[in-house]
Amino acid sequence: MRLFPRLLLNHLMCVAVTAAVLLLAAEVAAQPFIGHHVDEMIRLIGPEGGRLRGDLTGGMRGTLTRALLAALPLALLVATGIAWASARRVTASVRALQSGSGAIASGEYARRLPEAGQDELADLARSFNRMAGTLERVEQTRVELIGNVAHELRTPVSAVRGYAEAAQDGVLPAGQALEAIAREVAGMERLVQDLSLVSRVEAGRVELKVGDIPLAELLSQAQDRFALAFEDRGIAFQVDLPPGPLTIRADPERAQQILANLLRNALRHTPPGGTVRVSAQTEGAHVYVSVTDTGSGIAPEHLDRVFERFFRADPARTPGEGSGVGLTIARGLARAMGGDLSVRSAPGQGSTFTWAVRRA
């Protein structure tokens, strides 16, 4: 039996049982009331009333029974209507949930259920809609990820094909072509490694070896590593080392990776003649390492998205200018080590990325 007739039948059984209990209870409860009223009537009638006790009692009991039986059909009709409406509402909600879940299972993640009401059925609809919204965002992210990866790989794959064809046609010496192909393949390998790291960071499966790291040593290593790149671009690179010994709690390799991603981002967005400055300050239990550039800055509507995978505030940026996941990796690693990564920026005023890391 389907849900609607089963619910309606259950409601009608409840109505029938209630009606039977009501009649029985009325008969039992009416005894003392009828007896009291008969005694009052006999007292008012006088000595002759004693002979009428049986008739009076029977008449009042019969009147009560007929009144109840006369009202019972109307009560049953109203109760049946209410039971039908209640069963219909419940089954309509169940059918809507069934249809919606079937649509979600078929990939229609935009499907939503009506949320009218404040009862459990409405709460169920709201929970379903939240689940559908989450699945829709996940699916959108998946589609965007596939598109972005294809976009990032298109340029190096085309370059590899071009170098290979040039070598085959004798336009380019084989050694030079192989060197160029190796360079493009290395770029694709870095993209694959970055994507693998992003997935592990977001899943919380990145391995960390947290220990005490002298901050001055960490910043000095970053300075040595990037000084030449900034010099080649004509960008002033300043590293303000902390005045005294300062130690942080972090994984040395991951800490270097965070700084490297922040510095690559600053190098990419700071024009020649600009300045990139690294500084640090302490506050409470954390050390705040900041990377400040004098680039074009970030529009307010983009600030909340700069840490998303493959997000580009400047759509004109070509593939190959970074993997597009550096800031995503940096924030994920910072949070995995108990810290965070934030950004302050305004158009035309540069940007400041601040890494909050625990103090040892």
Pairing mode, strands 236-239 and 211-214: unpaired
- pLDDT tens column, 198-246: 888 877 888 899 999 999 999 999 999 999 999 999 999 999 987 788 9
Residue 140: predicted pLDDT: 81
pLDDT at 118: 75
Kindly indicate the confidence band of residue 143, based on its pLDDT and cuts at 50, 70 and 90.
confident
Q: How large is the greatest C-alpha to C-alpha distance in the chain, in angstroms?
A: 139
Q: What is the pLDDT of residues 20-64, one digit of tens each?
A: 777 677 666 666 766 666 677 666 676 666 666 676 677 767 777
- Secondary element (H or E) of residue 280: strand 275-283
- Give me the half-sphere count of Cα atoms (radius 13 Å) on the Cβ side of residue 122: 5
Contacts with 182 (C-beta within 8 Å, 6 or more apart), sequence order: none
Q: What are the structural domain ranges in the chain?
A: 3-108, 125-202, 211-358
Find out whether 293 and 266 touch, Cβ atoms under 8 Å: yes
Q: What is the mean pLDDT of residues 253-261?
A: 93
Q: What is the pLDDT of residue 319?
A: 45
pLDDT in tens, 88-102: 777 777 778 888 888
In this structure, the dihedral spanned by the alpha carbons of residues 196, 202, 203 and 208, taken in order and rounded to 10 degrees, is 80
Calculate what percentage of the chain has a pLDDT beyond 90: 31
Who wins on pLDDT, 265 or 80?
265
> In this predicted structure, which of 9-18, 218-227, 330-339 has the lowest mean pLDDT?
9-18
Report d(CA 51, CA 28) in Å as an integer. Answer: 24
Q: Long-range contacts for 136-145 (Cβ within 8 Å, ≥24 apart)?
A: 136/109, 136/110, 139/107, 139/109, 141/309, 144/310, 145/309, 145/310
* Band (318; pLDDT cuts 50, 70, 90): very low
Architecture of the domain delimited by 211-358 = 2-Layer Sandwich (3.30)
Q: Tell me, what's the pLDDT at 242?
A: 79
DSSP alpha helices (H): ranges in 169-293?
174-202, 215-233, 252-269
> What's the CATH class of domain 125-202?
mainly alpha
pLDDT surpasses 70 at 1: no
Please report, for the chain, how many H helices and E strands are present, in that order: 7, 7
Radius of gyration of the chain (CA): 39
